[in-house]
């Protein structure tokens, strides 16, 4: 078994900030690196040669990677920050670069807050153009509200909009959003200065006009349980039962009108989340689907007790144990609700630790990149730091850096990213996989099952021995057993593995397990049904396809109190349509007509 230097345990995670706080000051590496960084940036201000500055700062960062120990975290942080800063400013129009460089160097807290959170999907010219606009229009305010400023620049580098139920709502002007939160800072449930920027992003991704945000603040300020506002919007029963136009669609779509006219689940979720954002509670609309239909509910950051994300209000029993999807404000991609839940750990992680985590993760990724290009790390430390031990490049060194990153900031998915990439590249031994699988189970366990599965999947899929891989998938199922959708996902992986080994009967058993156990749980049964059909065709048993659909249909529960277009989203309806098509193809039109009649005559 591989023995890494630091074992991750739940107790260790509770004490993560200690490693940063206890780091000795004025270590030789930091003493030599900081003046060299300052000299490179000074020269950049003078000569405006970004290529030369980046080259010099990359050299310094590589020296830190090669010679930095766990007691040199400040050196990692400073070197990674300066390199990120210069790289990110390079795409900015030439006439703006130096002014922004000087501004950010003069406002270090804002600079580090912003630079460490830039994502590859951000448009760098637009991020810094918005920062430039805010600093010119609002003087010293952006630097006084670093998390707010960074969040706005990273969310609104392109116009933010929210699409649901056929609506397309656009955000107010980013400067107006900034002004709103600054002007009302003392009225918010939590000041943006008391929240990490990753959570502030779930405030500033608002699509409510400023006057509606002010209305919400006036009527709901101080509400700690904004998820309950989901039920303040009366359900439009007539629309649900008959498909008639919603009352809200006959009027302007506003927060006050939603209270007056009501709506459906998407409108209820939008209202609760919009009010939460307006009063200083990070909140999000959550979308999910069960076997019958899709549904929206609201997730919000609950400050009472131990701070955490609450995704339970409005999440009816039928959607418990199923994935909820949330639009990431920064990347605009849909991510699982448990990825957002993981952010709660950041609220308990000091800013310096969060930045350290990103810096050391940068180091691990860069070492991996150099190895892929067959390039070596520097063989000498910076001047003034002689006598340090050089880190030997390779997977073990990269994993040591990953552990340092995760210890500093366990709630940041970016800090875990090098591990996922190492697994996907097939560079982890079986012992390494066992170690990190256990670590993930201990740290994230049942609280963040989507994240655990996302991290474990590349590890398991690169286990070369099929029997060992099957057993490992079964072990993963034990961790995520509370989530039927994730268990079904694992069973699909096992079935695919069996198919690749031409073990078609065993693959069919996995698909059958999904169909039998989860027919009324989620849409994933449709995929299992279609794959099972393909196996029967491949085995030249087409006569069994019809029986497969008949048996599956017999397990389906007819949705209750469901009408109009919503019924077509259910497993019952979709499988019924597939069965009717099979009957028709088999020349059994009366049976096909009977099924379609049960479906309401819908085609």
Written as one string, the DSSP assignment of 194-262 is GS-HHHHHHHH---S-HHHHHHHHHHHTT-S-GGGGGGGS-B-HHHHHH-PPPGGGGS---HHHHHHH-
How is residue 43 written in tokens?
């020269």
How is residue 295 written in tokens?
């549904």
Looking at per-residue pLDDT, the higher value among 128 and 557 belongs to 128
Looking at per-residue pLDDT, the higher value among 576 and 201 belongs to 201
Q: Which residues touch 72 (CB under 8 Å, ≥6 apart)? A: 23, 27, 29, 30, 64
pLDDT (tens digit per residue) in 84-105: 999 999 999 999 999 999 999 9
Question: How many Å from the N-terminal Cα to the C-terminal Cα in the chain?
Answer: 59
Looking at per-residue pLDDT, the higher value among 298 and 23 belongs to 298
How is residue 357 written in tokens?
């985590």
pLDDT (tens digit per residue) in 480-531: 888 888 999 999 999 999 999 999 999 999 999 998 888 777 778 888 999 9
* pLDDT of 566 higher than 60: no
Helices (H), 90-145: 94-106, 108-115, 124-138, 141-144
pLDDT (tens digit per residue) in 53-93: 999 999 999 999 999 999 999 999 999 999 999 999 999 99
* pLDDT of 47 higher than 90: yes
What integer pLDDT is reported at residue 143 of this predicted model?
98
**What integer best gives the mean pLDDT of the chain?**
89
Rounded mean pLDDT, 390-411 = 94
pLDDT (tens digit per residue) in 451-480: 989 999 999 999 989 999 999 999 999 888
* pLDDT of 2 higher than 50: no
Answer whether 217's CB lies under 8 Å from 279's CB: yes
Q: Which residues touch 378 (CB under 8 Å, ≥6 apart)? A: 59, 62, 63, 66
Rounded mean pLDDT, 416-420 = 95
What integer pLDDT is reported at residue 382 of this predicted model?
86
The domain limits of the chain are 516-603
What integer pLDDT is reported at residue 16 of this predicted model?
40
Distance CA 378, CA 291 (A): 57
pTM across the whole model:
0.86
Q: For residue 256, count CB atoms less than 10 angstroms from its CB and return exposed for 0-12, middle for 13-18, buried for 19 or more.
A: middle
pLDDT (tens digit per residue) in 187-205: 999 999 999 999 999 999 9
What integer pLDDT is reported at residue 21 of this predicted model?
41
pLDDT (tens digit per residue) in 441-451: 888 877 888 89
* pLDDT of 231 higher than 80: yes
What integer pLDDT is reported at residue 19 of this predicted model?
40
* pLDDT of 244 higher than 70: yes
Q: Which residues touch 414 (CB under 8 Å, ≥6 apart)? A: 357, 358, 361
pLDDT (tens digit per residue) in 29-44: 988 999 999 999 999 9
pLDDT (tens digit per residue) in 104-120: 999 999 999 999 999 99
Conformational region of residue 384, where left means phi above 0, alpha means psi within -120 to 50, and beta covers everything else: left
Distance from the Cα of residue 406 to its chain's centroid: 16
* pLDDT of 603 higher than 70: no
* pLDDT of 11 higher than 90: no
Which DSSP symbol is given to 315?
A: -
pLDDT (tens digit per residue) in 331-351: 999 999 999 999 999 999 999
Candidate from 10-14, 359-363, 533-537 with smallest mean pLDDT: 10-14
* pLDDT of 239 higher than 90: no
How is residue 447 written in tokens?
């609280």
Written as one string, the DSSP assignment of 115-181 is HTT--TTS-HHHHHHHHHHHHHHHTTHHHHSHHHHHHHHHH-SS--EEEETTEEEE---HHHHHHHH
**Around Cβ 268, how many Cβ atoms within 10 Å?**
25
What integer pLDDT is reported at residue 243 of this predicted model?
80
Confidence of residue 326 (pLDDT cuts 50, 70, 90): very high
- Residue 328, helix vs strand vs coil: coil
pLDDT (tens digit per residue) in 265-306: 999 999 999 999 999 999 999 998 765 568 899 999 999 878
Answer whether 436's CB lies under 8 Å from 464's CB: no
How is residue 361 written in tokens?
């993760």
Rounded mean pLDDT, 10-28 = 45
Q: Which residues touch 362 (CB under 8 Å, ≥6 apart)? A: 61, 80, 83, 84
Answer whether 532's CB lies under 8 Å from 514's CB: no
């Amino acid at each position: 078994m591989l023995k890494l230097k630091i074992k991750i345990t739940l107790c260790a995670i509770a004490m993560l900030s200690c490693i940063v706080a206890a780091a000795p000051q004025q270590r030789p590496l930091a003493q030599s690196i900081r003046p060299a960084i300052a000299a490179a940036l000074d020269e950049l201000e003078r000569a405006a040669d970004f290529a030369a500055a980046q080259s010099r700062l990359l050299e310094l960062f590589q020296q830190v990677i090669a010679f930095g120990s766990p007691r040199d975290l400040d050196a990692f942080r400073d070197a990674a920050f300066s390199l990120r800063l210069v790289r990110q400013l390079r795409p900015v129009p030439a006439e703006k670069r130096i002014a922004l460089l000087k501004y950010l160097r003069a406002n270090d807290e804002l600079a580090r807050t912003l630079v460490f959170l830039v994502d590859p999907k951000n448009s760098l010219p637009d991020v810094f153009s918005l920062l430039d606009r805010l600093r010119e229009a609002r003087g010293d305010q952006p630097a006084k509200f670093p998390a707010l400023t960074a969040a706005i620049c990273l969310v609104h580098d392109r116009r933010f909009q929210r699409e649901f139920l056929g609506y397309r709502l656009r955000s107010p002007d980013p400067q107006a959003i900034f002004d709103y939160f600054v002007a009302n800072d003392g009225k918010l449930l939590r000041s943006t200065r008391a929240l990490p920027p990753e959570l502030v992003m779930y405030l500033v991704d608002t699509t409510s006009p400023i006057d509606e945000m002010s209305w919400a603040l006036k009527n709901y300020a101080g509400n700690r349980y904004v998820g309950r506002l989901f039920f303040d919007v009366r359900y439009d029963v007539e629309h649900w039962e008959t498909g008639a136009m919603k009352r809200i669609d006959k009027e302007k779509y506003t927060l006050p009108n939603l209270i007056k006219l009501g709506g459906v689940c998407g409108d209820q979720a939008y209202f609760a989340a919009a009010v939460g954002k307006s009063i200083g509670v990070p909140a999000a609309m959550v979308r999910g689907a069960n076997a019958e239909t899709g549904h929206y509910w609201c997730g919000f950051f609950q400050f009472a007790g131990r701070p955490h994300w609450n995704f339970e209000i409005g999440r009816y029993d039928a959607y418990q144990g199923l994935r909820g999807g949330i639009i990431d404000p920064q990347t605009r991609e849909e991510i699982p609700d448990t990825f957002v839940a993981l952010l709660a750990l950041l609220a308990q992680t000091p800013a310096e630790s969060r930045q350290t985590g990103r810096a050391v993760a940068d180091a691990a990724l860069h070492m991996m990149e150099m190895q892929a290009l067959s390039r070596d790390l520097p063989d000498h430390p910076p001047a003034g730091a002689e006598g340090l031990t050089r880190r030997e490049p390779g997977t073990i060194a990269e994993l040591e850096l990953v552990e340092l990153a995760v210890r500093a900031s366990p709630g940041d998915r970016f800090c875990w990213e090098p591990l996922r990439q190492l697994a996907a590249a097939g560079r982890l031994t079986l012992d390494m996989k066992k170690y990190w699988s256990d670590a993930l189970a201990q740290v994230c366990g049942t609280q963040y099952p989507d994240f655990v599965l996302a991290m474990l999947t590349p590890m398991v899929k690169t286990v070369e021995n099929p029997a060992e891989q099957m057993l490992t998938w079964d072990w993963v199922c034990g961790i995520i057993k509370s989530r039927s959708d994730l268990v079904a996902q694992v069973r699909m992986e096992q079935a695919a593995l069996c198919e690749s080994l031409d073990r078609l009967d065993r693959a069919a058993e996995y698909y059958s397990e999904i169909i039998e156990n989860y027919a009324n749980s989620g849409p994933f049964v449709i995929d299992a049904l279609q794959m099972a059909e393909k196996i029967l065709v491949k085995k030249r048993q087409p006569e069994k396809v019809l029986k497969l659909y008949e048996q599956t249909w017999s397990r389906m529960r007819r949705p209750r109190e469901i009408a109009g277009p919503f019924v077509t989203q259910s497993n019952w309806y979709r499988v019924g349509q597939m069965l009717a098509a099979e009957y028709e193809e088999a020349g059994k039109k009366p049976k096909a007509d009977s099924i379609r009649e049960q479906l309401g005559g819908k085609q």
